[in-house]
Amino acid sequence: MITEYRTFLNPKKVYIPLTDIDSKIANVSVEEGDRVLVGQIVAYKFKGKDKTPVLSTVSGTVVGFVEKLDRYAKIVDHIIIENDLLMETIELTNYKDKLAVSQDRNFIHNVTTYSENISTAQVRTALKGLGIQKVTVDGLFTDIKFKGQTEHIVVNAIFTNEPFISTDYEAIIHNAEAIADGICLLGIGAGAKTLTVIVDKYMPAEALDELGKAIVDKNIELISINVKIIKSWDYKIIQKLVKHNLSLNLLDDGVLYTSVHAALMVHDAIRKGIPVTSRQVAITGDGLKVNAVYDVRIGTLFSDLVEDLEGYHEVENMNLHIGSFLTGIQLDNDDFAITQSVDSINVSEYREVEEDVCIKCGDCNDICPAGILPQNIMDAELRSVNSRIVELDTHLCVECGLCTYVCPSKINVLEWVRRAKRRVG
């Protein structure tokens, strides 16, 4: 349960990973001892010909480079910048001159009118220049990237994470207008035909009101779902839009699927010209003494945040999970830096759940959004029958993890399906 709202915007040092899960090569453009400003490019990371800048989130001195664990559980190079607490920014270009550049996002709800005169190219350039790309990485979510024909923008306004349901609607209540504008900007950037927002049927009325007021006459469709029933809602909604089975990366289907936090970042980047220097992270779980929603400077070490949260409970076995429980990543160490793609962190006691034998109840076959048969694929994989794996359309799996979720025997079905996919290529 979230009990507090905190800010942690002035860490002594920030650690910014130079690469990520997709971009494996980085080209550093500063040296040790250089002074950098907020928003200054410290490196470029490459994925093939795709070039994304890595920005400094504080002003201060580069004190070195170090190999560390990142949030994808890989050891990568990080740049260390010592914060001088001055927060000097580079000269920023924004597409909304009237508004003064503000560091504090929480004042955005005062903004009432926006100039819509902005071109597709401007949006794309701004987002690329400010390094907003990997904001949502869990499950079906896509990068913010305009690849080929992007026809649909789908934005998810639901934050739920088991088992200590941590739902934070404060951000929506305060920034509804900004979120709506961010969605529109994404639509302009993509040249999209439809804009969709997915909300929870039982979300707080205030949040829904604010969001509704903001998106009215913006041509955004609001779809409410019942999150209490576990079902692949977003898959079904997107499938209705594109009218065929989805591929592993939704960008290939012409869909950009992201969260409201990303919409907020897009708004900040374009309307105010500020790069992503901080973001909201929900830190929950019974392993921690205090659960809170943090406004945290990107690059802060998680161990620093834990210190601010008065440390861990003394529990023997603990589990650290980043992102959604179905598709997120587990780390074996808390010495990692917050990046723009970290939306929630859960530290909880590890509860041993014994795996039983498969009783062939077929629950996984019923829930699978892609309409394939995980149990049969698992059976084929156990017997190593390649032809059967191909026959069962294993390639349609989007790795949503619902089969693992519903399994009454607590078998990691997704892992078997992944193995089968790997076997047949």
Partner 1 sequence: MEFITKKPPIVGNSQRTYKRSINLHFALLIVAIAAVILKAYTKVPETVTYTALDQSFKVFLMLAVGAFTSVVIELFYSLSEGSTKKFDSYKGFVDPINTGLIIALLLPTITPIYVLILAVIVGVYAGKLVFGGYGYYIFNPALVGVLFANLSFGSQLTVTNTPLMLLKRALGGETISFTNMTDLFVGNYDALAIGTTSVILLCVIFIYLLITRVIDIRTSGTFLLTVLIMSFGVGFINFYVEGNMSGVFDYVVINMITGFTLFAAVFLVSESVSSPTSRETKMIYAVVIATLMMLVRVLGSQPEGVVFAILFGNMITPFINRTVKRSDNKTLLKTSLILLFTVLFISISLGFILQSELIDIFASIGGALL
Chain residues that interact with partner 1, rule: CB under 8 A? 73, 162-163, 230, 303, 306, 312, 317-321, 325-326, 328, 330-334, 347-351, 353, 356-363, 365-366, 368, 371-373, 375-376, 391-393, 404-406, 408-410, 412
Cβ 320 to partner 1 shortest distance, Å? 4
Residues 6+ apart with CB under 8 A from 170: 5, 293
Strands in 41-47's sheet, in edge-to-edge order, are 25-28, 41-47, 50-55
Cβ 348 to partner 1 shortest distance, Å? 5
Of 134, 120, 138, 154, nearest to 255 by C-alpha is: 154
Buried b (16+ CB within 10 A) or exposed e, 394-424: bbbbbbbbbbbbbbeeebebbebbeebbeee
Side chain identity, residue 69: L
Query: Which of residues 226 and 330 has its CB atom nearest to partner 1 in the complex?
Result: 330
Query: Which of residues 126 and 347 has its CB atom nearest to partner 1 in the complex?
Result: 347
- In contact, 256 and 150? CB cutoff 8 Å: yes
- In contact, 279 and 340? CB cutoff 8 Å: yes
Cβ 243 to partner 1 shortest distance, Å? 13
* C-alpha distance from residue 267 to each of 100, 126, 154, 262, 278 (Å): 14, 11, 16, 9, 14
What is the residue whose two structure tokens read 């962190």?
A: 345
Query: Which of residues 63 and 359 has its CB atom nearest to partner 1 in the complex?
Result: 359
Cβ 234 to partner 1 shortest distance, Å? 17
Query: Which of residues 121 and 353 has its CB atom nearest to partner 1 in the complex?
Result: 353
Cβ 308 to partner 1 shortest distance, Å? 15
- In contact, 413 and 404? CB cutoff 8 Å: yes
Query: Which of residues 278 and 284 has its CB atom nearest to partner 1 in the complex?
Result: 284
Query: Which of residues 193 and 360 has its CB atom nearest to partner 1 in the complex?
Result: 360
Q: In a 3-state reduction of DSSP, which class is residue 114? A: coil
Q: In a 3-state reduction of DSSP, which class is residue 278? A: strand
Dihedral angle of Cα 90, 96, 97, 103, to the nearest 10 degrees: -40
Cβ 239 to partner 1 shortest distance, Å? 10
Query: Which of residues 101 and 359 has its CB atom nearest to partner 1 in the complex?
Result: 359
In whole angstroms, give the CA distance from residue 240 to residue 140.
Answer: 15
Cβ 372 to partner 1 shortest distance, Å? 7
Query: Which of residues 102 and 409 has its CB atom nearest to partner 1 in the complex?
Result: 409
Query: Which of residues 47 and 74 has its CB atom nearest to partner 1 in the complex?
Result: 74
Cβ 291 to partner 1 shortest distance, Å? 15
Cβ 31 to partner 1 shortest distance, Å? 33
Dihedral angle of Cα 115, 124, 341, 107, to the nearest 10 degrees: -20
